[in-house]
């Protein structure tokens, strides 16, 4: 027997400690049954989760009424992910600032510029002709091209003894032609004032040397020389750029949220649970603390669980409003998967009914993994399994009083080998009939609907059922499968209960009040 099977065996003992169970045998909770049940549940879960990305997107689109989400849905998403939107924006702006600072440190932020102005005279026209403005313009453009060309750059390197390349020298020389004049403004840059002025003098000397050699027509005269002055490069990030980066970070975070919301297969909130299960959400119960060093029976018995208590009162009100036409005495609590919180929900709902002055009995019909006796610190045996297996076990022997006034308990008892057969027996119908005569309300704690036949047997004997789903845990496929399984038995599924929600008024109650 594996370690997991031994722990399960200790948690749900199979050896009778009270009376005799003719239908139970040693090893009823052995590894074979555990493996078989686990395999069946996994196969069902795999079948429900099967499909590619396109299928998930299609299911999400159908769940949101053709892909159109209302304003309330968008608001819920923003409330859930507001922190990611802010963090994404801040990270983008911070990354931009750091990158700008690193870039500024690696490059020179201050340059010096020196300028020289040349006056260009027209070449002597041929006898009998007038100077042409077009010819003058072409001459000035030719001078500008020569000043920034390779010939002048080579002479500058040779004259000044520079170790820079021709393209590097040309990159520090710029020429401007003021319109309507015959002036050429030459600007040279450098990291120091002396470097800028030296390069400016080299440009003038090299160009005039070409002119003196007769390679350049016309004449050019230096009219003004401006000493090198500091030019501060603006390397600070502009607010427009920072704003664009912030918008990019916000849109990136929003894109991640949209992708995650569409690809995740778990129920996120009450609106998502309604769309997946196809039934109204009667209440949304927030997480609450069970107390240090122990476990309170219900949220009403603990401290700091005011929102959870109010949520279960809302559930009580929602059930009453949903069953006004057909009153419900026997209510089944089942789940859309394991660890959804069915036991906690059933116990707290029974406590809420007792506060309203009703006599309530909780029947732990989860014969595979019983837990109600631990919720109320009650005896595990004798319980329902013993009463169903041995007909002469009286009802009074299995009904236990709890610490909550008005709430009684029928524990599950020992793990039988055939829980489905016991729940489908005539003896179970007789016990329910006796409980209906003694109590105002019967709350049945059932195993999960998908994966076992126990929930189907119990649903056929209850007046109505509630499906418990857990936020960020229960898959949409399992929520839909649970409701479909119950409806196959013509069970009246009045709604769903969302565990781990945000609390507050459930959508179903809000619509009813409006």
User: Domain-by-domain residue ranges, the chain?
Assistant: 9-33+267-513, 69-105+235-263, 110-232
Q: Would strands 441-445 and 360-364 be described as parallel, antiparallel, or unpaired?
A: parallel
Among 20-34, 68-82, 328-342, which stretch is predicted with the lowest mean pLDDT? 20-34
Q: Tell me the whole-structure pTM to 2 decimals.
A: 0.56
Token output for 192: 């120091």
- Per-residue pLDDT tens digits for 444-470: 998 888 777 888 888 888 999 999 998
- Calculate the CA dihedral of residues 79, 84, 85, 88 and round it to 10 degrees: 180
Mean residue pLDDT of the chain comes to 75
The whole-number pLDDT of residue 33 equals 47
The whole-number pLDDT of residue 216 equals 66
- Per-residue pLDDT tens digits for 87-109: 888 888 888 777 777 666 655 45
Q: 110-232, which class in CATH?
A: alpha beta
Nearest CA to 16 among 7, 5, 27, 8? 27
The whole-number pLDDT of residue 212 equals 74
Adjacent-strand bridge partners of 441: 360
Residue 221: pLDDT above 80? no
Q: How far is CA 128 from the centre of its chain?
A: 87
The whole-number pLDDT of residue 396 equals 83
- Strand order of the sheet with strand 399-401? 281-285, 493-499, 464-470, 330-335, 441-445, 360-364, 407-410, 399-401
Adjacent-strand bridge partners of 457: none
Residue 296: pLDDT above 80? no
Best-predicted range by mean pLDDT (77-91, 257-271, 321-335): 321-335
Averaged pLDDT for residues 137-164: 84
Q: Would strands 360-364 and 110-121 be described as parallel, antiparallel, or unpaired?
A: unpaired
Among 54-68, 139-153, 393-407, which stretch is predicted with the lowest mean pLDDT? 54-68
Residue 219: pLDDT above 60? yes
| Secondary structure of 105-170 in HEC code, one letter for each residue | HHCCCEEEEEEEEEEEECCCCCCCCCCCHHHHHHHHHHHHHHHCCHHHHHHHHHHHCCCCCHHHHH
Asked whether the beta carbons of 336 and 493 are under 8 A apart, the reply is no
* Domain at 9-33+267-513, CATH homologous superfamily: P-loop containing nucleotide triphosphate hydrolases (3.40.50.300)
Residue 489: pLDDT above 60? yes
Adjacent-strand bridge partners of 185: 117, 176
The whole-number pLDDT of residue 209 equals 81
The whole-number pLDDT of residue 131 equals 55
């Amino acid at each position: 027997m594996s370690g997991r099977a031994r722990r399960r065996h200790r948690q749900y003992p199979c050896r009778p400690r009270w009376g005799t169970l003719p239908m139970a045998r040693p090893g009823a909770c052995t590894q074979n049954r555990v493996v078989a049940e686990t395999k069946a549940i996994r196969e069902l879960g795999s079948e429900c989760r099967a499909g590619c990305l396109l299928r998930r997107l299609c299911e999400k689109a159908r769940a949101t009424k053709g892909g159109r989400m209302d304003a309330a849905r968008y608001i819920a998403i923003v409330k859930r992910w507001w922190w990611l939107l802010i963090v994404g924006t801040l990270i983008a702006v911070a990354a931009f600032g750091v990158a700008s600072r690193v870039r500024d440190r690696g490059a020179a932020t201050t340059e010096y510029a020196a300028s020289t102005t040349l006056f260009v005279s027209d070449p002597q026209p041929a006898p009998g002709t007038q100077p042409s403005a077009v010819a003058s313009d072409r001459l000035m453009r030719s001078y500008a091209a020569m000043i920034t060309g390779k010939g002048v750059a080579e002479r500058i390197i040779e004259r000044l003894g520079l170790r820079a390349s021709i393209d590097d020298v040309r990159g520090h020389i710029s020429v401007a032609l003021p319109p309507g004049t015959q002036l050429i403004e030459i600007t040279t840059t450098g990291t120091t004032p002396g470097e800028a002025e030296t390069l400016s003098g080299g440009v003038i000397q090299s160009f005039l040397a070409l002119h003196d050699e007769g390679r350049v027509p016309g004449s050019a005269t230096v009219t003004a020389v401006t000493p090198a002055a500091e030019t501060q490069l603006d390397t600070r990030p502009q607010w427009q750029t920072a704003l664009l980066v912030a918008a990019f970070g916000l849109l990136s975070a929003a894109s991640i949220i949209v992708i995650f919301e569409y690809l995740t297969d778990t129920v996120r909130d009450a609106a998502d649970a309604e769309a997946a299960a196809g039934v109204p959400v009667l209440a949304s119960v927030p997480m609450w603390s069970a107390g240090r060093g122990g476990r309170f029976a219900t949220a009403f018995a603990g401290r700091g669980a005011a929102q959870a208590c109010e949520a279960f009162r809302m559930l009580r009100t929602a059930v009453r409003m949903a069953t006004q036409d057909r009153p419900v005495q026997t209510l089944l609590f089942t789940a859309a998967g394991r660890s959804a919180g069915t036991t906690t929900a059933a116990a707290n709902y029974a406590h809420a009914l007792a506060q309203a002055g009703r006599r309530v009995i909780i029947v732990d019909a989860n014969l595979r993994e019983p837990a109600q006796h631990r919720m109320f610190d009650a005896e595990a045996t004798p319980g329902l399994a013993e009463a169903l297996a041995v007909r002469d076990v009286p009802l009074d022997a299995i009904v236990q009083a709890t610490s909550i006034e008005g709430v009684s308990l029928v524990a599950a008892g020992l793990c039988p080998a055939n829980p489905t057969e016991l729940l489908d027996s005539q003896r179970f119908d007789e016990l329910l009939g006796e409980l209906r005569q003694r109590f105002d309300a019967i709350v049945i704690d059932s195993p999960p609907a998908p994966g076992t036949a126990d929930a189907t047997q119990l649903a056929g004997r209850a007046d109505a059922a509630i499906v418990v789903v857990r936020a960020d845990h229960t898959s949409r496929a399992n929520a839909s499968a649970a409701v479909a399984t119950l409806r196959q038995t013509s069970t009246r599924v009045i709604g769903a209960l969302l565990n781990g929600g945000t609390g507050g008024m459930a959508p179903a109650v809000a619509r009813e009040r409006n």
